[in-house]
Structure 1
Amino acid sequence: MMNLSIASPSSVSFPSKFLSSTSKSSFNGRQIRFPFSFRVPPKTASTGGRNSSVVMMAKREEELKEIRTKTTEEINEEVIDLKGELLMLRLQKSARNEFKSSEFRRMRKRIARMLTVKREREIEEGVGKRLSRKLDRKWKRSIVVRPPPSLKKLREEEAAAEEAEKSA
């Protein structure tokens, strides 16, 4: 068994060259100055010698290039679709169906990237923050609720299955 003992603050002693009682702050105690600096080596990725953050950055760059090629209207449409998908995921979670929990984060980040590109374009046009929020509220009110693409796809598959049953 290993014994550990903790020294009380009064029993710890430092050489006088490391202690300084003069300070420019309102601190009245003693400051400890070390002649050497503490340095923590950076963590290295353990995935086959490659740095995983570099790979993620490249994917993000590609995604941003793809988003920037779209028009503002296309970005708005995709944001609406992704928010619908997010709602479907929340419904699956509440119904305790199987779903990928990583999809939440992926969709939220994609939405954030799209809205960031949209705001960058507004800044280039000279739209102020206040006007941007006003336009954003106006845009949100104009959204017509529609089912997300995954639900449309599910309905089409069900319709095709019913059609196959009727014809068979």
Structure 2
Amino acid sequence: MTSLSISSLIFPSKSTLTKPSSSSFHGVRIAHFTPTHSPSVSAKRASSSASVVMMAKKEEELKEIRTKSTEELNEEIIDLKGELFMLRLQRSARNEFKSSEFHRMRKRIARMLTVKREREMEEGINKRLSRKLDKKWRKSIVPRPPPSLKKLQEEEAAAEAKESASA
């Protein structure tokens, strides 16, 4: 708990009183009081269990990613990059969005690319060849809207169809 309080005025020392040009008022001291006791043992255990749960989620997500084929991974990477682009657009337009989604999506993309690279290494594809293949793959990507935008468009179309049917 942090609290602010005004303790007392700071009075000048005798050495500064002899100098007439210096000011005798030095301001007000603001003290910050923080608790000196250490966190309880139960709080430490709670934080360690939270990290264990997070690690379990990551491992579970990695298992899920590893079960997918390389083609499925490529498709999901494209979709996630599109979603990331949509988030950037929302941020630039100052719309409401969850800022935590940036971190989550970037991490998920990185995990997928890591699994993809692991598979390439198992096949014996070196780094240089991997970069060449990646460039070819990026050029072959057909631009398409991300799933969230498709979903919005479908919802709008359904709403318009409902309005036209009722009118």
SS at match of 2:46: coil
TM-score computed with the length of structure 1 as normaliser: 0.72
User: Are 2:79 and 1:85 equivalent residues in the alignment?
Assistant: no
Select which of 37, 46, 49 maps to 2:46. Answer: 49
Please give the secondary structure, in 2, of the residue aligned with 1:166: helix
2:155 aligned with 1:157, yes or no? yes
Q: Which residue of 2 aligns with 1:166?
A: 164
Q: What's the offset of the Cα at 1:49?
A: 2.4
Q: What does 1:65-80 correspond to in 2, within 5 Å? A: 65-80=63-78
Deviations 1:49-94 (CA, angstroms, capped at 9, x unpaired):
2522111110000000000000000000000000000000000000
CA positional deviation for 1:47: 7.4
CA 1:47–1:135: 2 relative to 1, 3 Å: same
| Secondary structure class of the residue paired with 1:49 | helix
Higher share of residues assigned strand: 2
Task: Supply the RMSD in Å over aligned alpha carbons.
Answer: 2.0
Q: In the alignment, residue 113 of structure 1 is paired with which amino acid?
A: R
Tell me the equivalent position of 1:123: 121
Offset, 1:48: 6.8
Residue 46 of structure 1 and its aligned partner are, at CA, apart by 3.2
- Which one has a larger percent helix, Structure 1 or Structure 2? 2
Give the alignment's TM-score, normalised by structure 2.
Answer: 0.72
**Pair 1:153–1:47, CA change in 2 (3 A):** farther
1:109-130 Cα offsets, whole Å, 9 max, x none, are 0000000000000000000011
- Cα distance in structure 2, aligned partners of 1:89 and 1:112: 17
Once superposed, which parts of structure 1, at least 4 consecutive aligned residues long, lie more than 6 Å away? Answer: none
Which residue identity is paired with 1:162? E
Name the counterpart of 2:109: 111
Amino acid at match of 1:150: S
The percent identity for this pair of structures is 76
How far apart are 1:107 and its partner, in Å? 0.3
Deviation at 1:45, TM superposition (A): 8.4
Consecutive unaligned residues in structure 1, runs of 5 or more: 3-43
CA distance in 1, matches of 2:140, 2:132: 13
Partner residue in 1 for 2:59: 61
Q: In the superposition, relative to structure 1, how do residues 45 and 68 fare at CA in structure 2: closer, same or farther (>3 Å)?
A: farther
Q: Where does residue 14 of structure 1 map in the other structure? A: none
